[in-house]
Amino acid sequence: MRRRGSGAGSSTPYSLPSAPPGDDEALVDTPGGQPGLLFPRVPEGRPVKNRVHLDLRPHSATRGNEVDRLLGIGATFPADFRRGGGSGFVALADPDGSEFCVERSDGELAAAGGARD
């Protein structure tokens, strides 16, 4: 499994897989006993939409800063679903085309009174 850039987890509450390139699986470790994610290599290509969709919430960076950082390390920008008042999310895709979303950060949610998107 290919590693997706050395900085993708630097300002977020998750970390990149530590598996070396070419491994048959990679584990994304999370803090505080939260569930980890295991990504095994499969022989089939991606026939349709993702089987699993990740919504990422930056821990310390703003959503905009995290989106810019992820674009800088290889993500692409399929769609922007931000709305007036700061709610919404940004859809990105990894180099293989698997989509994921970046939501408002913890700080941005707190500044908005804790309202969820």
The string of pLDDT tens digits covering residues 18-31 is 567 777 777 776 77
| Close Cβ partners of 24 (under 8 Å, ≥ 6 residues apart) | 1, 40, 41
Show Cβ contacts of residue 69 under 8 Å, excluding neighbours closer than 6 positions: 7, 10, 11, 61
Please tell me the pTM assigned to this model: 0.63
Q: Which domains does the chain have, with CATH numbers?
A: 25-111 (3.10.180.10)
Helix (H) or strand (E) holding 55: strand 54-56
Q: What's the confidence (pLDDT) of residue 68?
A: 95
